[in-house]
Structure 1
């Protein structure tokens, strides 16, 4: 890993700013994923049960940013990559991930990369902003597995996150370079960010179809995360309205390998809304990591909001093997005397 970061730093062309600070982590971590998945199959065992494995190969690129609303604080930017591929069933990590073994269920497997950055309300302030959100950033690799029962209209997804929080993510340099390039207020407080620590998190999400008609679908959700980054429980619902296939018919894009293809729409256009209530136990982006207590500034446990409401409203267009999605996300105050926050979400996916 040290060699990979050294290799990243060797790319320094100023006119390749966006590539240098955005795509290098994605490329490097993707190479690590490839190495991991080539190495692990030698120790893994294929499943011998009768559950079908989804054969779709899908790729999603996700980008979040609050600049659309002319703000630059709290959750200010996020980058994500998700790749679904049946080859990932070979990984030994799947032995600790939850999937259904019921006849009629369809398993799926994927790998992901996530990078998020957080700042206080005034990034031009060179001093510690007591009572405000700390600077923080993390990046992690995520292996996920799940199963969908199309007839019962239910899905369970579980995943394991492994990564780091702290200066090694390069978020401070990234934000400073972007703001220099845009001539827009240089961030002054990244030296006070949450210090380097381990991310190890286990996540589970259960989804169940409640209402399903041709134009309307309502899905209930419950889940939680346990680990060094986030520990919380969630419950909520998702509503979809428009010209669409069932949420449980595919993994977001109907591909030529999707079963019952003849019964699925070739194109889809629908609006969606999603609301989740969260019961918060721990949040390392505000309280610091578990192993490194040498943080300059963190929030106290008494300052953390134990109940948080997050919602999303957007539109999705799927044409053959391409998915385009955009949404507005809202979140209630996450700590004492904080503000509500909102940001834009973009998701581009394709099948291959």
Structure 2
């Protein structure tokens, strides 16, 4: 075992330091949610429940553009599985009931970290973004109408902000290993607080004519982490199945039943405008006011534009996605920011 740990540390330093820093709180969150959700049996009626089991692994980082600030790193896992349909958490999630609809259920994990523009500065950087990090688990429930080409999704996030995420230790360990300027200001990070967020999203096909598909999108979030409303458009161009034919990847059974493509390759672009009511990563959590440094409400940008452009390749049951994400200034005096987004998915 000791030799195995040594091999992992030397071969995959970033992953090793991440698991060492945040492993315990991550395991606690996952155990809590799985204890609620895994009491369900597999769906018997595959005509109304999406039976495809999917895993998505998500990684965001701005190092590709030789920067290390604002939203500097994000890690996520999404698992769609019909077994989650009997979770008691679904009782508080909105799911439109339609005879022609197909329901789906999922569980996700998200870990994000944020820093100011100069992580080597040992002082509080007034007017800059605070250090912040969070991790949470999300229960997802949704409905897809394949006739009207629309999808409605609701989700509930539960987790925490603050030092217990291990983001400071993680970033310091990585920078020490790479000999790339050790961050000095994590002692000023947003303090521990509860994350409880409710999210709604709606997507509707506006235009589809091979090889192009255009969707309209709208959504809102309310809670202790983010409170906002958003709307935008999602454009895809290339060789692809309808967006509403699956949850991003089709399994073998679905492809044979619906004559779906085994191979897909397309470019995409997404733009969303956002009205910001509250952002705990800059303003601090709602229940703990003992933060050393936060931004005042009048310093927060109330309108934010986000966009993403990328490529997707799907071969049978595997999905590879790479994209560049952009965001307009989020507070007074801040800069525009961009980072790379990677997504690997599997259907089984």
Shared fold (TM-score, shorter chain, > 0.5)? yes
Q: What secondary structure sits across from 1:53 in the alignment?
A: coil
In the alignment, structure 1 residue 342 sits paired with structure 2 residue 318: no
1:121-173, Cα deviation, whole Å (9 max, x unpaired): 00000000000000000000111010100110000011000001010000000
Match of 1:33 among 15, 26, 30: 30
Q: 2: CA distance between counterparts of 1:14 and 1:317? A: 31
1:20-48, Cα deviation, whole Å (9 max, x unpaired): 33246479746753564345566x89999
Instruction: Name the stretch that deviates more: 93-102 or 154-163.
Output: 93-102
Aligned to 2:217: 221
Gaps of 5+ in 1: 1-10
Aligned to 1:315: 311
* Pairing of 1:65-214 with structure 2 (within 5 A): 65-214=61-210
Aligned to 1:53: 49
1:48-103, Cα deviation, whole Å (9 max, x unpaired): 99970000000000000000000000000000000000000010101111212101
Q: What secondary structure sits across from 1:258 in the alignment?
A: helix
Q: 2: CA distance between counterparts of 1:84 and 1:279? A: 29
Cα 1:172/1:239, change in 2 over 3 Å: same
CA offset at residue 254 of structure 1?
Answer: 1.0
CA offset at residue 334 of structure 1?
Answer: 0.3
Gaps of 5+ in 2: none
CA offset at residue 257 of structure 1?
Answer: 3.8
Cα 1:51/1:278, change in 2 over 3 Å: farther
Q: What secondary structure sits across from 2:52 in the alignment?
A: coil
Q: What secondary structure sits across from 2:75 in the alignment?
A: strand
Aligned to 2:241: 245
Q: Are the aligned partners of 2:25 and 2:165 in contact in 1 as well (CA < 8 Å)? A: no
Q: 1: CA distance between counterparts of 2:293 and 2:141? A: 36
Cα 1:132/1:119, change in 2 over 3 Å: same
Q: Are the aligned partners of 2:42 and 2:83 in contact in 1 as well (CA < 8 Å)? A: no
Q: 1: CA distance between counterparts of 2:229 and 2:45? A: 31
Q: What secondary structure sits across from 1:80 in the alignment?
A: strand
Q: 2: CA distance between counterparts of 1:127 and 1:92? A: 46
CA offset at residue 351 of structure 1?
Answer: 1.0
Q: Are the aligned partners of 2:33 and 2:137 in contact in 1 as well (CA < 8 Å)? A: no
Aligned to 1:289: 285
Q: 1: CA distance between counterparts of 2:255 and 2:103? A: 12
Q: 1: CA distance between counterparts of 2:160 and 2:275? A: 24
Q: Are the aligned partners of 1:225 and 1:231 in contact in 2 as well (CA < 8 Å)? A: yes
Q: Are the aligned partners of 1:51 and 1:103 in contact in 2 as well (CA < 8 Å)? A: no
Q: 2: CA distance between counterparts of 1:331 and 1:89? A: 34
Q: 2: CA distance between counterparts of 1:47 and 1:261? A: 18
CA offset at residue 266 of structure 1?
Answer: 0.7
Cα 1:47/1:142, change in 2 over 3 Å: same
Aligned to 1:258: 254
Q: Are the aligned partners of 1:50 and 1:103 in contact in 2 as well (CA < 8 Å)? A: no
Q: 1: CA distance between counterparts of 2:236 and 2:208? A: 9
CA offset at residue 180 of structure 1?
Answer: 0.5
Q: Are the aligned partners of 1:51 and 1:104 in contact in 2 as well (CA < 8 Å)? A: no
Please, what is the CA RMSD of the aligned residues? 2.4
Q: 2: CA distance between counterparts of 1:32 and 1:131? A: 33
